């Protein structure tokens, strides 16, 4: 079970302790083919999801995640090489689609499930508010972290289960559809247009997204750039967006030098007409609200932050949510690295500023396991960034970035845990003659104790 879930530690029981949702055990979804028909005005979604699976234990029954806003009409199964698999019954209740098969599916089989469903998609309730599919004033968006994906398609919604995707969306022709991956086809028939995207690199369910709105495309990178960068923005915001994201391509270049090659084929920014509380990341793209596009670079740090998630969180996925600092700590530190490069503000100065702020706040966050209530607390983000800075100070600049590029390369398009980072830090420390005890002291002080350690210097 351990190796089959792409992680090095066992699944802790049968329930995700952070989301409170039972795991769907016994199988992997290798690919999702989603064919969706969405009508904007009534917020109506009709979908057919085909899931391609293999199972690491024999299955007489299984479960998938699907929110109650969707109604399942039909479920069929098909084995490989013409092998017959029959769904005996299905039941959709409590956010779970429960399937039973007429005959047990032997271990290590390959099969597919086709699920027809429809309904009025809406966000799912969670300890962090409502997440998932959200109807906008003039369109829709999806922002699912950490467990909102079932608001719009049936899935195995856990971060360490990555899959490839083929996403086809048909909607009203005035609207653009932006999704993860590469746009491979767009066809208009009458008053409706069908958009098809393919995601070649494995993706966690919470990073799958669809953005629908009145958007026009804006190129942000030079012709022939190694990584094409563009934005989809409301026409009225084009000029301000061009100014706000003027450095986006330079950020890609910097992070590619520091962390290793950009992990996807392109990078996309979507600016919706509505205001958003915070920007949101998805694989290969980021979503901003109109309130973030003022044309004065007030949100420059967040533009840098969201881009860095393409490495930390999207390519290097999480095995479990208690390790959220691996995503957010590196993303916050990436902000400081951008300002160090672009504005001459040393990362150490940014670190000291935020250290002083943390010192004035309650020190009751355990970074290695912050818990459901605090996993998105800003103290986790900033203490995570300070942990990264402490490792940089310990190793020195050249060894630190050498270690970081090795860590990123080893975890590319997979999942990582703190033990993976620690292994690379120890290896770099050993080559530099730094005692293992020094690494352990820094590691334990920042990750495994609530008290704020001394500022790294």
For the segment 339-362, the average pLDDT, to the nearest whole number, is 98
For the chain, the C-alpha Rg in angstroms (whole number) is 22
Per-residue pLDDT tens digits for 280-333: 999 999 999 999 999 899 999 999 999 999 999 999 999 999 999 999 999 999
Per-residue pLDDT tens digits for 176-198: 999 999 999 999 999 999 999 99
Of the candidates 104, 105, 136, the residue with the CA atom closest to the CA atom of residue 123: 136
Per-residue pLDDT tens digits for 214-224: 999 999 999 99
For the segment 28-35, the average pLDDT, to the nearest whole number, is 98
Of the candidates 283, 306, 286, 258, the residue with the CA atom closest to the CA atom of residue 408: 258
Residues spanned by CATH 1.10.390.10 within the chain?
318-447
Per-residue pLDDT tens digits for 243-278: 999 999 999 999 999 999 999 999 999 999 999 999
Residue 4, pLDDT above cutoff 50: no
Residue 107's CB: how many other CB atoms inside 10 A?
Answer: 12
CA distance 326 to 333: 11
Q: How many CA atoms lie within 13 A of 356 on its CB side?
A: 5
Residue 13, pLDDT above cutoff 70: no
Cross-sheet strand order for the sheet of 59-65: 59-65, 96-105, 87-93
For the segment 83-99, the average pLDDT, to the nearest whole number, is 95
Name the average pLDDT for the chain: 95
pLDDT of residue 7: 53
Residues spanned by CATH 2.60.40.1730 within the chain?
26-213
CA distance 21 to 23: 6
CATH of domain 216-310: 3.30.2010.30
Torsion angles phi and psi, residue 443, rounded to 5: -60, -50
Q: Give residue 80's pLDDT band: very low, low, confident or very high (50, 70, 90).
A: confident
Q: Give residue 11's pLDDT band: very low, low, confident or very high (50, 70, 90).
A: low
CATH superfamily of 26-213: tricorn interacting facor f3 domain (2.60.40.1730)
Per-residue pLDDT tens digits for 110-163: 999 999 999 999 999 999 999 999 999 999 999 999 999 999 999 999 999 999
Global confidence as pTM: 0.96
Residue 451's CB: how many other CB atoms inside 10 A?
Answer: 7
Residue 354, pLDDT above cutoff 50: yes
For the chain, the distance separating the N- and C-terminal CA atoms, rounded to the nearest angstrom, is: 43
Degrees to nearest 5, angle at CA 412 with 423 and 386: 55
pLDDT of residue 147: 97
Mutual angle of helices 378-395 and 347-359, in 10-degree steps? 130
User: Candidates 2.60.40.10, 3.40.30.10, 1.10.390.10, 3.40.309.10; correct CATH number of 318-447?
Assistant: 1.10.390.10
CA distance 161 to 205: 8
Per-residue pLDDT tens digits for 380-432: 999 999 999 999 999 999 999 999 999 999 999 999 999 999 999 999 999 99
Three-state secondary structure call for residue 171: strand
Residue 10, pLDDT above cutoff 60: no
Residues spanned by CATH 3.30.2010.30 within the chain?
216-310
CB 24 within 8 A of CB 99: no
């Amino acid at each position: 079970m351990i190796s089959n879930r792409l992680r090095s530690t066992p699944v802790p029981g049968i329930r995700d302790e952070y989301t409170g949702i039972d795991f769907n055990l016994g199988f992997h979804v290798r690919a999702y083919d989603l064919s969706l028909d969405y009508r904007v005005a009534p917020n109506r979604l009709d979908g057919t999801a085909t899931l391609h699976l293999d199972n690491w234990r024999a299955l007489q029954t299984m479960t998938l995640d699907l929110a109650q806003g969707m109604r399942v009409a039909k479920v069929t199964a098909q084995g490989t090489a013409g092998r017959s698999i029959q769904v005996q019954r299905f039941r959709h209740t409590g956010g779970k689609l429960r399937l039973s098969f007429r005959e047990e599916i032997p271990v290590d089989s390959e099969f597919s499930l086709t699920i027809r469903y429809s309904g009025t998609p809406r966000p799912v309730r969670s300890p962090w508010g409502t997440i998932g599919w959200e109807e906008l004033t003039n369109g829709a968006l999806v922002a699912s972290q950490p467990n909102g994906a079932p608001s719009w398609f049936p899935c195995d919604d856990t971060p360490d289960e990555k899959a490839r995707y083929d996403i086809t969306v048909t909607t009203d022709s005035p609207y653009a559809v932006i999704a993860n991956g590469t746009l491979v086809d767009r066809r208009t028939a009458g008053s409706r247009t069908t958009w098809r995207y393919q995601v070649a690199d494995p993706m966690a369910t919470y990073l799958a997204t669809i953005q629908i709105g009145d958007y026009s495309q804006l190129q942000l990178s030079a012709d022939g750039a190694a990584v094409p960068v563009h934005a989809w923005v409301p026409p009225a915001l084009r000029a301000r967006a061009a100014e706000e994201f003027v450095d986006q391509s330079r950020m890609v270049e910097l992070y590619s030098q520091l962390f290793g090659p950009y992990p996807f084929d392109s990078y996309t920014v979507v600016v919706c007409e509505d205001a958003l509380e915070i920007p949101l990341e998805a694989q290969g793209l980021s979503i901003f609200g109109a309130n973030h596009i003022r044309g004065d670079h007030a949100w420059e740090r967040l533009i840098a932050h969201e881009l860095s998630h393409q490495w930390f969180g999207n390519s290097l996925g999480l095995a479990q949510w208690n390790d959220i600092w691996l995503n957010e700590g590196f993303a916050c530190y990436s902000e400081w690295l951008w300002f160090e490069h672009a504005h001459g503000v040393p990362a150490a100065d940014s670190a000291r500023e935020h250290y002083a702020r943390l010192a004035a706040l309650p020190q009751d966050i355990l970074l290695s396991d912050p818990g459901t209530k605090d996993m998105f607390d800003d103290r986790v983000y900033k203490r995570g960034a300070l942990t990264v800075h402490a490792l940089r100070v310990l190793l020195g600049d050249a060894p630190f970035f050498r270690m970081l590029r090795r860590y990123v390369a080893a975890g590319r398009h997979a999942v990582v845990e703190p033990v993976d980072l620690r292994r690379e830090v120890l290896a770099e420390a050993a080559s530099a003659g730094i005692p293992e005890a020094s690494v352990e002291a820094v590691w334990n002080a920042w990750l495994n104790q609530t008290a704020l350690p001394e500022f790294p210097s």
